[in-house]
Amino acid sequence: MPYVTSIQRLGREEGREKGRVQAIRENVLDVLEARFGEVPFPVREAMNTLGDIPRLKALHRLAVTCANSADFERALRS
């Protein structure tokens, strides 16, 4: 079994975290597109700046349940 340093382990954890963030972002955008059609560039741009997993999960739930895209955009800006 190869020796893994704590720095390597930390790097792997950071990589996994970035992967989770990107996956949630993509899921949110997929839901929005499926429900409301093409997602405006400013919404995509704003989503790509977010890195907080709990906030992204909340936005995912909102994307699934909101009445319209304007409600989602308001929540995204707040």
| CB 63 within 8 Å of CB 35 | yes
Q: Does some domain include residue 1?
A: no
Q: Does some domain include residue 68?
A: yes
Q: Does some domain include residue 43?
A: yes
Q: pLDDT, tens digit, for every residue of 61-77? A: 999 999 999 999 999 99
Q: Which residues of the chain have pLDDT under 70?
A: 1-4, 10
Q: State the pTM of this model.
A: 0.82
pLDDT at 1: 55
How many domains is the chain partitioned into structurally? 1
Domain around 53 = 6-77
d(CA 26, CA 31): 9
Q: Does some domain include residue 10?
A: yes
